[in-house]
Amino acid sequence: MQNKVEKECCIIENIIGTRVKTISLHNPSIHNQYPEFRGYKNAYSKEFFNTDLYISDYCKDFRGKNLREFMKKGRNNLIQVLFHPIHFSEKEESYMESFSRIIADNINRIDVYNSYSNKTYKKELNNNTLLEYFQNYIKENRLND
């Protein structure tokens, strides 16, 4: 796993133009695994992680913590704040609305890209959009039951 971490950090370093020093695994507490990687600080290590100085919007819930009050702790402490972009939108959305919007946006992006230059793609869709095709496919195959 060390090798994979180094490769992934190298990709990020090439994009941002600076060395990655600290990493954070997604949901380490679920499996109660907090691996350490040579050459990197782990955001969940005992050295940094403290539940009093950590806040997350996991499941759209700050677990009783007041975000404004929590942020004040950052004046004198190193705090960790974890936000999930899916939880934020122009209007308040349920998970199903958020996922549906994200899926539709991505399908539409694929559609625009392929419609621009792919004649076979356009012909197979028969003047429909890819999103319409998927909606019909789901209805016909009863995937929504």
Report domain extents, the chain.
1-49, 52-85, 95-140
pLDDT in tens, the chain (145 residues): 899 999 999 999 999 999 999 998 888 777 787 888 999 998 888 878 888 899 999 888 898 999 999 999 999 988 989 898 888 888 889 999 999 999 999 999 999 999 888 999 989 998 899 999 999 998 888 765 5
Q: Taking the CB of residue 64, how many other CB atoms lie within 10 A of it? A: 5
pTM, two decimals, is 0.63
To which residue do tokens 């955001």 refer? 43
CB distance 82 to 97 below 8 Å: no
Residues 6+ apart with CB under 8 A from 34: 25, 28, 42, 44, 45
Q: Residue 55 class from Cβ within 10 Å (0-12 exposed, 13-18 middle, 19+ buried)?
A: buried
